[in-house]
Amino acid sequence: MNGLHELPLIIFTVLAQSVVGATLVLSLSQNEIKQKNTKLFILLVLMAAGFLASIMHLGSPLRAFNSLNRIGESMLSNEIASGSVFFAALGLYWLLTVSGKMPANLNKIWLIVTALLGLVFMYMMNQVYHISTVPTWNSSLTSYSFYLTVMTAGFCLGYALFRQAAWLRTVIVIGIFVIAILIVYQSLELAAIRSSVQNALDLVPDYMLLNMIRLCLLAAGAYLLFRTTPSLLYLAAILMIAAEMIGRILFYGLHMTVGTAVAG
């Protein structure tokens, strides 16, 4: 299947976006959250898994460090740097809270700053894929896709973990409807993108089928969000993350450079 050759990047981007979304949910909460430290650790594990996958894509940890050499000049360097800062801020927040050393007057401020760092990370990640020589990526649809993963899978993960802000369920449902609209719009846009080799849609012949599976998983996750059983809420988050993994497989499968098409 086209796109699976970039599995490490699929894991990294979707998990990172999900963790940032969950962190935003936590920062919006008004009440003290029971067992916050345990659930925060889950976010750290997911973020660590994402970074491990990205290192696998680069080939070695040394290459990951070398990629930081062009901060301010390279969007890839900016992405890794901003992601590392976000991860460090979230990890330090967890460490200070679990050890009981987090000052009460800094707790909320730290969370908000960490969430803002997450948004900066998302912006840098999005900018990496706006490449003028890749017409199938250099589109506002790429931005919508990445931010909608934060809004659906990320908010769902945050709601499942922290049970805060019930209105987020409505936001998630709206996000799913927007995804459905964008799938149709993108199919029309891709049909108009053609290289000297092939049509963009030919790169992903199962585009509509996989997107239908994606939408079904998102819809099932949204349905479970309105249940009260914790296990069903966790299942909802898993389904939505899986759905966005499918969407990201299609995204990487659509890689096409000007003049040629690169198949997986």
Question: What pLDDT score does 264 carry?
Answer: 38
- Tracing tokens 């894509």 back to the chain, one arrives at 57
Confirm if 70 and 77 have CB atoms less than 8 A apart: yes
For the whole model, what pTM was predicted? 0.92
C-alpha distances (whole Å) from 155 to each of 26, 95, 151, 172, 223 are 9, 23, 5, 7, 14
Q: Which pLDDT does position 87 carry in this prediction? A: 97
The model's pLDDT over 190-216, given as tens digits with 9 standing for 90+, comes to: 888 876 667 887 888 899 999 999 999
Question: Which of the following CATH numbers is that of domain 2-254: 3.40.50.10540, 2.60.40.180, 1.10.150.20, 1.20.1630.10?
Answer: 1.20.1630.10
pLDDT confidence of residue 1: 59
Q: What is the pLDDT of residues 56-81, one digit of tens each?
A: 766 655 555 566 677 877 888 899 99
Provide the pLDDT for residue 19: 98
In this structure, is the dihedral angle defined by the CA atoms of residues 222, 223, 228 and 229, taken in order, positive or negative? negative
**pLDDT average, residue stretch 245-257:** 92
Whether 128 shows a pLDDT value over 50: the answer reads yes
C-alpha 204/C-alpha 17 separation (Å) is: 24
Instruction: Please check the confidence at residue 260 and state whether its pLDDT lies above 70.
Output: no
Kindly state the DSSP code that residue 152 receives in the 8-state scheme: I
Whether 219 shows a pLDDT value over 90: the answer reads: yes
Q: Chain-wide mean pLDDT for the chain?
A: 89
